[in-house]
Structure 1
Amino acid sequence: MVELLAHLESLKNVNWLTGIDSQQLKQFTWEYYLQLTTSLKDLNPPKILLAESESVRFLAGFIAACAVGFPVFICNPYWQEEEWKQVLTLVQPDIIWASTKILNLRYKKIDNNNKENSTNHIMIPTGGSSGKIKFTIHTWETLMASVRGFTTYLNLHQVNSFCVLPIYHISGLMQFIRSLITRGQFVITSFRELSSGHINDLDITEFCLSLVPTQLHILLQKSTSTNWLSKFKIVFLGGAPAWDELLESARYHKIRLAPTYGMTETASQIATLKPDDFLEGKTNDGQVLPHAKVTIYDDFGNQLGTNKTGNIHIISKSLCLGYYTSPSDHCSLTVDDLGFFDEEGYLHVVGRNSNKIITGGENVYPREIESLIFETHLVMDICVIGISDKYWGQAVTAIYVPGRNVQDHTQILLALKDKVSKYKIPKYWIIVDSIPRNDKGKINYQMIEEMALNTINKLD
């Protein structure tokens, strides 16, 4: 992998970075590389925990670790103390590239065999919004398979990325890797800066932008940012389900949106709806990229045909090798998501199997109900879940942030009349100030359920 450094060196006369000093990136990369190849040469191989808060140092450390082939753990610099204790105890790092705050934390060093056979492994975190943080095991080869599938499917020889997503997430990291490998331009800025009106005057007509639905919703509220979005070659949308009204608004403003389906385990997207298809009116998760294969199965393992909803099963060259401490030899993954293929081969993801609500023997998919409620224009945000109910099995429950001048759910019920079956109408309606989400827009369902149960118990 030393050729990665040669590739970086070949870009020294190319103005490919904005928001990061390219000379600093090269300088810091060599500093980290020399540290790994000299002072740590007696450790075989040393485990690196990478949590630099400065983007240039984070990316330099990532390149250096990949070039040497030592196992590197990508971490969120903004995790809190309890999360850091969990991670440090799990990883037992030999070297930490991070802030002083993290370095000051103490943890009990124990002997373990987790460093065995971990050369060339790139550990990328998943989870953390609830439950324990896990690290998916990737390699440079799985990440490159994702890049090749992406560029082939979208017919992009050079990927110019405008990155506003965290680079310690797979969604931000892959943007950098695509630009680095294809010798494209890479712009990095914070979404906070972007949403406050500081729009870069760069010519973005050949750039790709990636957003989560809540970010797109915020940007569509201002005409200046809406016009700016419409200039991008592609605006990828993923990380969380998008509601129909949001998609219609993007289509109305002629934004070249590309809804995607993927996850940390697959090194980002494995299905994408192309922008031309989106503008023509298609609303789904697109077709499967060439490096992956998706099959739909029922609960008994039988493969399902078109328009039949079932469990999503993934085979992909970009698939992770399991999780840290629990590696896998399998080259396939059955995920918690439910979906189906239509007659044209487009994938429709309808929700998560674990989130499916069974009420009175009927299946209710929260995404459908959330979309219908969003379309009433009476809520700012919403989450639909199932709460245990002794009579119905589960009761459909809506936790929502009301829109302006909305006092309670009565107006919403009137707007939903004759639009949806009665068994899909929420039994409980709970007003909150905000829906708890992480920085990728994903809902913290553990907190949501606690909020709902506390309110319902008071009502009962």
Structure 2
Amino acid sequence: MEYSLADFKNYTKNHLLCENSDRLPQLIEEISSQIQFLQQNSKVLLAEREPVRFLASFIAAYTAGYPIFLCNPDWGNYEWQQVFDLVQPDIILASHLEMPATVTTNTNDPLPIPNSIMIPTGGSSGKIKFAIHNWETLAASVTGFRKYFQLEQVHSYCILPLYHVSGFMQFMRSFISGGDLVIQNFQQMEQAIYPNLQRFFISLVPTQLQRILQSSLSDRLAEFQTVLLGGAPAWSELLTQARTQNIRLALTYGMTETAAQIATLKPEEFLQGKTNCGKVLPHAQVTICNQQGNIKIQAESLALGYYPHIFTQPELTLDDLGYFDNQGYLNIIGRSSDKIITGGENVYPVEVETAIRDTQMVTDICVIGIPDPHWGQAVTAIYVPKSNTSATTLQTTLKAKLSKFKIPKHWISLTTLPRNSQGKINRQSLQQLALTLLQK
């Protein structure tokens, strides 16, 4: 379905509530005038920090037909240089950025698909990629979401960044369905919360959920219709606390490449005690392939490729490992690339991390494997302890929980672990840190 500039303006006028939302029509006109002289298929980098400027820029660029690259305004110089070298943009819509002098125009650079929407992924691994979407793939995700939850309208309360798929899809769901959209940052949410929360979906990552449960907003969170939780694995202590407070969590599984979730556990099932990823949404198909249990996805919402390359097959085989239980619920084990082989035995970090969290002796944990001349790899725990918890105490406690080969051989205590805005740990950074510390 084609949407006009008038459709977007009408929606934002009647359904959008965010700081300075009354300025949005004027901003759309200003940005439309700014970009109207660009050539067809000119590439637009969108890196606005303020939600109203982000939406105005997106609406102006999309309705003009330009390929749009959503960008994190807080990327550092190294990350921006990756983006500039890859995309070679024609214009940057960002109040705080300028085109670097090192960017050159490549006449052989392939043109993106017209009206495509490129969403960033892979930043935590050190290399930024853009998943190529268009309105049809994103709308397919919205259709699957509405069918799964049996909704005519989706009302969204967004505190996640709009450049990220989990924030941008909240806008898409509300716009396509004619629902209301509230956009606030975490500080605004703490100061004044929007009324009538019973109508709203809110999306969180585990670290945000933990912060809210420890704040004065904990009681208000239980008022939401549904709290979508994804972005990173949640730990059992956190889920138990949320269930105790009667928070209607919907555990999700999805990614940028699938335009957000393709499997979701409904909140009623979560409150009954289930902790898996739930059933697959109607717009997607998930297959467990090979003996390892790798997940293969086919979906109407699947990205068309990674810029500038198009997928040759309409499917995606992932590094993620999982299985379906006898009730048809999807369960995620971990990632094949994270698997640690120590003394010929396979160890999956998520199992060890869960056992360590369950001791309630740490506030954060990451388990990795580092090279070892005797074992091949040594299981290594990098953790943030509660009070004065020692590695010896943790090791002793784990003896009753895990097989001996799964108990970490090395323990590194830190004050904080590096996580991105979605709560995902930068394992690559921790791997380098562990090697440096243990070689001393």
TM-score of the superposition, structure 2-length normalised? 0.96
**2:44 aligned to which of 48, 53, 56:** 48
Whole-angstrom distance in 2 between the partners of 1:136 and 1:421: 40
Q: 1:13 to 1:448 in 2, by over 3 A?
A: closer
Contact kept, 8 Å, 1:170 with 1:264, in 2: the verdict is yes
Shift of 1:117: 5.1
What corresponds to 2:94 in structure 1?
98
Contact kept, 8 Å, 2:67 with 2:112, in 1: the verdict is no
Q: In structure 2, the residue corresponding to 1:11 is in which secondary structure?
A: helix
What corresponds to 2:425 in structure 1?
443
Q: 1:2 to 1:144 in 2, by over 3 A?
A: closer
Q: In structure 1, the residue corresponding to 2:217 is in which secondary structure?
A: helix
Q: In structure 2, the residue corresponding to 1:400 is in which secondary structure?
A: strand
Whole-angstrom distance in 1 between the partners of 2:13 and 2:412: 57
Amino acid at match of 2:399: K
What corresponds to 2:37 in structure 1?
39
Whole-angstrom distance in 1 between the partners of 2:204 and 2:228: 6
Whole-angstrom distance in 1 between the partners of 2:112 and 2:381: 47
**2:56 aligned to which of 50, 53, 60:** 60
Deviates more, 1:283-292 or 1:84-93: 84-93
Whole-angstrom distance in 1 between the partners of 2:126 and 2:398: 35
> How many pairs were matched up?
440
Whole-angstrom distance in 2 between the partners of 1:67 and 1:290: 29
Amino acid at match of 1:453: L
Q: Note if 1:184 corresponds to 2:187.
A: no
What corresponds to 1:11 in structure 2?
11
Whole-angstrom distance in 2 between the partners of 1:49 and 1:165: 19
**1:247 aligned to which of 214, 239, 243:** 239
Where in structure 2 are the equivalents of 1:325-336 lying within 5 Å? 325-336=308-319
Shift of 1:103: 0.9
What corresponds to 1:111 in structure 2?
106
What corresponds to 2:77 in structure 1?
81
Contact kept, 8 Å, 2:229 with 2:249, in 1: the verdict is yes
Q: CA offsets per residue over residues 128-170 of structure 1, 9 Å max, x none?
A: 2232211111101100001101111011211111111111101
**1:429 aligned to which of 411, 415, 422:** 411
Shift of 1:4: 3.6
What corresponds to 2:141 in structure 1?
146
Shift of 1:115: 4.3
State the identity %. Answer: 54
Q: Note if 1:298 corresponds to 2:290.
A: yes
Deviates more, 1:234-243 or 1:116-125: 116-125
Deviates more, 1:122-131 or 1:339-348: 122-131
Whole-angstrom distance in 1 between the partners of 2:91 and 2:30: 14
Contact kept, 8 Å, 1:321 with 1:327, in 2: the verdict is yes
Whole-angstrom distance in 2 between the partners of 1:22 and 1:193: 15
Contact kept, 8 Å, 2:110 with 2:308, in 1: the verdict is no
Whole-angstrom distance in 1 between the partners of 2:312 and 2:25: 36
Shift of 1:64: 2.1
Amino acid at match of 1:198: Q
RMSD: 1.7
Q: Note if 1:358 corresponds to 2:341.
A: yes
Where in structure 2 are the equivalents of 1:387-402 lying within 5 Å? 387-402=370-385
Whole-angstrom distance in 1 between the partners of 2:337 and 2:98: 38
Where in structure 2 are the equivalents of 1:241-320 lying within 5 Å? 241-298=233-290, 310-320=293-303
Amino acid at match of 1:423: F
Q: Note if 1:212 corresponds to 2:216.
A: no
Contact kept, 8 Å, 1:136 with 1:322, in 2: the verdict is yes
Q: Note if 1:405 corresponds to 2:388.
A: yes
What corresponds to 2:160 in structure 1?
165
Contact kept, 8 Å, 1:293 with 1:314, in 2: the verdict is yes
What corresponds to 1:305 in structure 2?
none
Whole-angstrom distance in 1 between the partners of 2:280 and 2:65: 31
Q: In structure 2, the residue corresponding to 1:10 is in which secondary structure?
A: helix
Shift of 1:282: 0.6
Q: 1:386 to 1:96 in 2, by over 3 A?
A: same
Q: Note if 1:237 corresponds to 2:236.
A: no
Whole-angstrom distance in 1 between the partners of 2:126 and 2:303: 20
Contact kept, 8 Å, 2:395 with 2:408, in 1: the verdict is no
What corresponds to 1:124 in structure 2?
119
Q: In structure 2, the residue corresponding to 1:205 is in which secondary structure?
A: helix
Q: CA offsets per residue over residues 373-411 of structure 1, 9 Å max, x none?
A: 1111100100001111222221111000010132x2122
Shift of 1:338: 0.5
Q: Note if 1:28 corresponds to 2:27.
A: yes
Contact kept, 8 Å, 1:245 with 1:371, in 2: the verdict is no
Q: In structure 2, the residue corresponding to 1:146 is in which secondary structure?
A: helix
Whole-angstrom distance in 2 between the partners of 1:452 and 1:74: 33
What residue ranges of structure 2 are gaps of 5+ in the alignment? none
Q: In structure 1, the residue corresponding to 2:431 is in which secondary structure?
A: helix
Shift of 1:34: 4.3
TM-score of the superposition, structure 1-length normalised? 0.92
Contact kept, 8 Å, 1:45 with 1:115, in 2: the verdict is no
Amino acid at match of 1:73: F
Q: CA offsets per residue over residues 285-329 of structure 1, 9 Å max, x none?
A: 111101100000115xxxxxxxxx600000011111111122223
What residue ranges of structure 1 are gaps of 5+ in the alignment? 300-308
Amino acid at match of 1:220: L
Q: 1:21 to 1:260 in 2, by over 3 A?
A: same
Shift of 1:198: 1.8
Whole-angstrom distance in 1 between the partners of 2:197 and 2:156: 9
Shift of 1:83: 1.6
